[in-house]
A and B are shown apart, each in its own frame.
Chain A
Amino acid sequence: MKVRWGVLTLAGVLVATACGAEAQSPTAAAGGGDGGSLTWAVETQPTTFNPQQWGQNKARLLVHNQFDSLIARGGDGGFLPWLATSWKVSKDGLTYTFQLRADVTFHDGEKFDAASVKANLDQFLVPGYNAAVAAIQLRNLGKTEVTGTHTLKVTLKAPDGLFLDFLSSPYAGQVSPKSLKNAKDLKAGGVDVVGTGPFILDRFTPGQEVHYKRNPNYNWPPAGSAHQGPAYLSEVTYRFLPEAAVRVGALTSGQVQVIEGVPATEIGLIKADSRLRFETSLNSGSAFSYYFNVSHPPFDDKRIRQAFRDAVDVDTVLDSVYQGTAKRAWSIIGQGSPQFYDASLENTFGDDPARANKLLDEAGWDKRDAEGFRVKDGKRLTVRTVASAPFVRDRRDILAQAIQAAVKQSAGIDFQVRLVDQGTALKAYEGNQYEVFENSRGDTDAGAALNLILPKGAAINRTHYESAELERLLDEASAGSDAAERKKLYAKVQKFVTDEALLLPLYVPADQVAYGSGVTGLTFEPVSGTPNSAYDVRIGT
């Protein structure tokens, strides 16, 4: 493998040099674990490089090159030390005391200490800096006090089981207080918004690439890292190639060594190529699901919701659209969040056209029109989904068409799919002009996703379903910090929404990477399921 990769890289260098293009660093071919430069093609250019403004799951893999968070997550979903070496939570869940590393320096030479953490937390309270985070993730934040050079006390207004999750997210990426004050363009980030991470962002060309060089002083990786000390790679370039076919071609021709975002149609090709490796990981958060709007007919009738859910053979549909590469979901929480996922729901519903038809007959939709759709009082059994085109990914438009065909054929339901612009979609949601709402969320704590979707009046509660019982479960689960207890509560939540047939879970979103076989150390973040930073990555060996 090693030889073959060497030859491939060498060929790449020759070609690139012959063309006068930017030549690969010769160390790339030499490998050896020290030095080497890597080019990684990614699908999405981040809207910002400031971790505290982060909002795209796809930008996660870049964030931790430049910034370290206060705490990390382990494979079991537990919290591990990072820039904070330890923390204590008071009995009432209101006071968090953090011990910080004393040996950490920002890229601009500033020392990392309790004062800088306070500056970062306080920055979120600056009006307009990140209103969404201030209002949601940090709604319970009281005050932050520096109690020693490297100790810090945070007081919450109410217990919050999601606070540690926040401190392990990119939002808790520590920015040098100097750049918080002086950055030319704080919200967009860039070369003058600096962190403490293993790489230093030194060049960003919009639409083309972002370039990082190694931070030679780095010695504070999160617990659970594969190595200590500085990163292996001396530099890493991320190229923005939005077109999937172009990314795959760039990889197979050796022009880039890693790609992120591999479409289902190309996976077979990559797996068949012995020079390439393919890996995928399920994302955390909520599964991609069709949520039913219960505020008006026909989904105000639970039987119709159950019938829609039973009318679809999800496995067959996923197979035809994703060629067997998609993981079927069974619950509002996906299998990518194993700490909360309730596996007992598997195979308890779905793919039962007989039951679907019986339920529809019972509900009075027992006649058919000329086209085979069910009718009642002269009205056709029609349900509509409205999808905003900019957010359609993973061929979800094709998936909708497959489901449309399935529910028509097996139960006579008229499922209408509309793909519109963002403004029109919002208007339809606000005007309650839809019956199906499609969504998935990549939150590392699935509870955060449920808090946005399920409670009455929540930001994306588009089912309009209300239940005091459900809200009590959610409140208790978000406030608690005992993992086992939370798991029990979320199991009840999942059972509840499944029994109520509030949604049709479809698949668990996933991230994929493909890379030349000479590349090692590429891993996924254990909880989010997105690719890790380039810290452990190397070429050769």
Chain B
Amino acid sequence: MSTLTLTRRRGLAAAGWLGPVARRLGSGLAVLWAAATAAYVSLLLVPGDTVDVLIGDGLDTPERRAQIVAEWGLDRSALHQYGDYLARLFHGDLGRSYILQRGVGDVLASQIGPTVRLALAAALIGTVLALALALATAGRRTWLGGLAGLSELVAVSVPPFLIGILLLAVFSFTLGWFPVSGDQGLVSLVLPAVALSLPICGVLGQVLREGLERALEEPFAVTARSRGITEWRLVARHALRHALLPAVTLTGWFTGTLLSGAIIVEAVFGRPGLGQVTLAAVTGKDMPVVMAVVLLSALVYVTVSTIVDLTYLAIDPRLRSSR
């Protein structure tokens, strides 16, 4: 969300909550439709006959070819096919993986749980850690602030797989506190979630601290100080609200990092999840699965950014009031 949109919205939002919410849902649906269309076009653009592409490395028999033609309506006009495809999506039918020979919905459903748990845990850890770091160090030009900034920089620049291996070396191989691999309850979630959260924490922490420091130099901060409130109250009660907006804007990036990072982290820690499915589908050219993953990412992205935009309204009342 750019500031441009924010400014425009400031002028247009007339009916408090209702307008922005409806508009946001509408644009979310438009993005999903665009993603579905792009996925469909990419299927047509991949070299080779569409039936060949859909079969991939799967069983190639005349019966199966006939089945695919029927299933995708490949004997009809392109526009008709596109309409059918959208209609099927609308009914939640994602098609079939001809390599795994299972419904794509099934494939994703069986693997989505571990990835969601991992991503949510990483998001939570990343956010809490970044908030704590920023609140503790903002405005204090001490060694503590310098140290925090440096660790944030390291967290951002070191690739997640290296972070993962380092964490494993210390906490699993040496100290033996956590198991190396698998999805065996909460304990096995800790290290992968931390590995995935550190880059997020790094960026978020920097943005938050800068936001806080900028806010602390604004006139309202001077006024507040002159009223004699403590520095801590000033940071926590007043400056934070201002610093949150740019941080929240990062959520889109944040979601992307979680999704792409999960693929690597799942491999390092030997965890099940969507990462494995995606990797296998891309290398095996399993188009129905690839298309479904694209759609799923778009859905997550749209959902998250919708929630974020609504959160803006909650954080900054000016955005929902008329004038």
Chains A and B form a bound pair: yes
Which residues of A does B touch, CB under 8 Å?
11-12, 15-16, 19-22, 41, 45, 47, 126-129, 131, 184-188, 205-209, 239-243, 245-246, 249-250, 252-253, 255-256, 390
Q: Could you tell me if A243 and B186 are in contact, using CB atoms closer than 8 angstroms? A: no
The A/B interface has a contact count, at CB < 8 Å, of 122
Contacts of B178-234 to chain A: CB distance below 8 A: 178-188
B249 interface residue (CB < 8 Å to A): no
Q: Could you tell me if B267 and A239 are in contact, using CB atoms closer than 8 angstroms? A: no
Question: Among the interface residues A15, A22, A246, which one has the most CB atoms of the partner chain B within 10 A?
Answer: A246
Contacts of B59 in A (CB 8 A): 128-129, 186-187
Per the bound structure, the CA–CA distance linking A172 and B99 in Å amounts to 22
- Distance (whole angstroms) from the CB of B8 to the closest CB of chain A: 43
Contacts of A128 in B (CB 8 A): 59-61, 64
B173 interface residue (CB < 8 Å to A): yes
B272 interface residue (CB < 8 Å to A): yes
Q: Could you tell me if B172 and A253 are in contact, using CB atoms closer than 8 angstroms? A: yes
Q: Could you tell me if A127 and B60 are in contact, using CB atoms closer than 8 angstroms? A: yes
Contacts of B242-275 to chain A: CB distance below 8 A: 266-273, 275
Per the bound structure, the CA–CA distance linking A92 and B128 in Å amounts to 78
Contacts of B33 in A (CB 8 A): none
Q: Could you tell me if A205 and B272 are in contact, using CB atoms closer than 8 angstroms? A: yes
Q: List 14 A-B contacts (CB under 8 A).
A: A15-B176, A15-B177, A16-B179, A47-B284, A127-B60, A185-B102, A205-B272, A241-B270, A246-B180, A249-B172, A250-B180, A250-B181, A255-B180, A256-B180
B174 interface residue (CB < 8 Å to A): yes
Per the bound structure, the CA–CA distance linking A16 and B270 in Å amounts to 17
B168 interface residue (CB < 8 Å to A): yes
- Distance (whole angstroms) from the CB of B166 to the closest CB of chain A: 10
Per the bound structure, the CA–CA distance linking A15 and B283 in Å amounts to 38
Q: Which 8 A-B pairs have the closest CB atoms?
A: A207-B276, A249-B173, A128-B60, A253-B173, A21-B179, A15-B176, A207-B272, A208-B272
Contact of A255 among B100, B101, B179, B186 (CB under 8 A): B179
Q: Could you tell me if A243 and B165 are in contact, using CB atoms closer than 8 angstroms? A: yes
Q: Could you tell me if A207 and B187 are in contact, using CB atoms closer than 8 angstroms? A: no
Per the bound structure, the CA–CA distance linking A242 and B276 in Å amounts to 12
On whether A188 and B61 interact (CB within 8 A), knowing A21-B185, A249-B169, the answer reads no
Per the bound structure, the CA–CA distance linking A11 and B174 in Å amounts to 13
Contacts of A240 in B (CB 8 A): 270
B58 interface residue (CB < 8 Å to A): yes
Contacts of B271 in A (CB 8 A): 207-208
Contacts of A20 in B (CB 8 A): 184-187
Contacts of B161 in A (CB 8 A): 243
B297 interface residue (CB < 8 Å to A): no
- Distance (whole angstroms) from the CB of A458 to the closest CB of chain B: 22
B277 interface residue (CB < 8 Å to A): yes
Q: Could you tell me if B165 and A127 are in contact, using CB atoms closer than 8 angstroms? A: no
B321 interface residue (CB < 8 Å to A): no
Per the bound structure, the CA–CA distance linking A243 and B166 in Å amounts to 12
Q: Could you tell me if A208 and B270 are in contact, using CB atoms closer than 8 angstroms? A: yes
B111 interface residue (CB < 8 Å to A): yes
Contacts of B267 in A (CB 8 A): 207, 242-243
Per the bound structure, the CA–CA distance linking A45 and B283 in Å amounts to 14
Per the bound structure, the CA–CA distance linking A186 and B277 in Å amounts to 19
Contact of B270 among A126, A185, A187, A239 (CB under 8 A): A239
On whether A206 and B111 interact (CB within 8 A), knowing A20-B185, A21-B188, A185-B100, the answer reads yes
Contacts of A11 in B (CB 8 A): 176
Per the bound structure, the CA–CA distance linking A256 and B181 in Å amounts to 10
- Distance (whole angstroms) from the CB of B66 to the closest CB of chain A: 13
Excluding A20-B187, A240-B270, A253-B172, 5 further A-B contacts by CB distance (< 8 Å) are A19-B177, A128-B60, A187-B58, A207-B271, A246-B168
On whether A249 and B180 interact (CB within 8 A), knowing A19-B187, A188-B100, the answer reads yes
Q: Could you tell me if B184 and A22 are in contact, using CB atoms closer than 8 angstroms? A: yes
Per the bound structure, the CA–CA distance linking A249 and B188 in Å amounts to 16
* Nearest A residue (CB) for B178: A19
Q: Could you tell me if B168 and A239 are in contact, using CB atoms closer than 8 angstroms? A: no
Q: Could you tell me if A207 and B179 are in contact, using CB atoms closer than 8 angstroms? A: no
Question: Among the interface residues B172, B182, B185, B269, which one has the most CB atoms of the partner chain A within 10 A?
Answer: B182
Per the bound structure, the CA–CA distance linking A243 and B283 in Å amounts to 18
* Nearest A residue (CB) for B60: A128
Contact of A207 among B100, B184, B188, B275 (CB under 8 A): B275
Q: Could you tell me if B270 and A209 are in contact, using CB atoms closer than 8 angstroms? A: yes
Per the bound structure, the CA–CA distance linking A246 and B59 in Å amounts to 36
Per the bound structure, the CA–CA distance linking A126 and B169 in Å amounts to 49
On whether A252 and B173 interact (CB within 8 A), knowing A19-B178, A209-B182, the answer reads yes
Per the bound structure, the CA–CA distance linking A19 and B185 in Å amounts to 10
Per the bound structure, the CA–CA distance linking A128 and B183 in Å amounts to 36
* Nearest A residue (CB) for B182: A208
Contacts of B15-36 to chain A: CB distance below 8 A: none
On whether A250 and B60 interact (CB within 8 A), knowing A206-B277, A208-B271, A209-B270, the answer reads no
* Nearest A residue (CB) for B183: A208
On whether A188 and B101 interact (CB within 8 A), knowing A207-B266, A207-B273, the answer reads yes
Contacts of A131 in B (CB 8 A): 60
Contacts of B33-77 to chain A: CB distance below 8 A: 58-61, 64
Q: Could you tell me if B183 and A253 are in contact, using CB atoms closer than 8 angstroms? A: no
* Nearest B residue (CB) for A253: B173
Contacts of A19 in B (CB 8 A): 177-179, 187
